[in-house]
Amino acid sequence: MKYLSAIFFLFTVLISCNAPKKGNVTITTNIKGLKKGTVYLQRIQDTALVNIDSITIDGDSEFILTSQVQEPEIHYLYLDKKDGKQYNDRIDFFAEPGEISISTSLLDFENDIKIKGGKNQEKYMEYKKMLKRFNDRNLRIIKENFEASKQKDDEKLIENDKAYKNLVRQKYLYTINFAINNRKLEVAPYITLNEVFDANIKFLDTVASSLSPKVKKSVYGKQLIKYIKDRKAKEK
């Protein structure tokens, strides 16, 4: 009898270990070149970054992670390579109910990323592509500024300062317009909060007012509206 109980217990454990994970988001992932390591699926809960799923890789670079979401929400794919770096191997993406496909490489984890997901992710990638152009231009200005400082070229320094201010203005206007044009998606309040939170309050108000009723009630919509309200109170 004890033997049968032990067999039944072992069978139950095996079933539970191999049972499919529950969730309304299925993330099929392939990290080319990865042979060993641990991959974590993370998201923000109560201002803290928490692990919601994970897998230990031992030879197979293809795997599946799952999540349960009520609405589109930013998630993070974190590769722990035991190299002491906590932030360099992390990818952010919009998770929403359905299938998501992520592929990248061990060699260049963040830059080789390709993601197929929902509408928010599609627009988020579009925005990040443009944001990279702004960042690349900013780096060029910093490099030119460094060289001008070494050569004590005041004229060039003044020129670079104007170029930088113009670049910032372009980035802010692009982000505000992008958010307004995508007001029916949760990506709109998210990028506003994360990229141009210190913009003129009138611009932020315009974004918040333009959001669809559904997005206003989303977690990022509520955060944006609360942020604007708190900022107005401080500026009085």
Reported as a single tens digit per residue, the pLDDT across 158-191 is 999 999 999 999 999 999 999 999 999 999 999 9
Q: Are 138 and 165 in contact (CB under 8 A)?
A: no
- Starting at the edge strand that comes first in sequence, how are the strands of the sheet with 90-95 ordered? 48-58, 36-45, 73-80, 90-95
Whether pLDDT at 15 is above 80? no
Strands 114-116 vs 48-58: parallel, antiparallel or unpaired: unpaired
State the Cα–Cα distance between residues 227 and 141, nearest whole angstrom.
32
Distance of CA 91 to the CA centre of its chain: 6
- pLDDT for res 235: 86
How many Cα atoms are found within 13 Å in the side-chain-facing hemisphere of 44?
Answer: 10
pTM: 0.86
> What letters, b where the CB count within 10 A reaches 16 and e where it falls short, cover 8-28?
eeeeeeeeeeeeeeebebbbe
pLDDT band with cut points at 50, 70 and 90 for residue 58 = confident
Question: Residues in the chain, how many?
Answer: 236
- pLDDT for res 5: 42
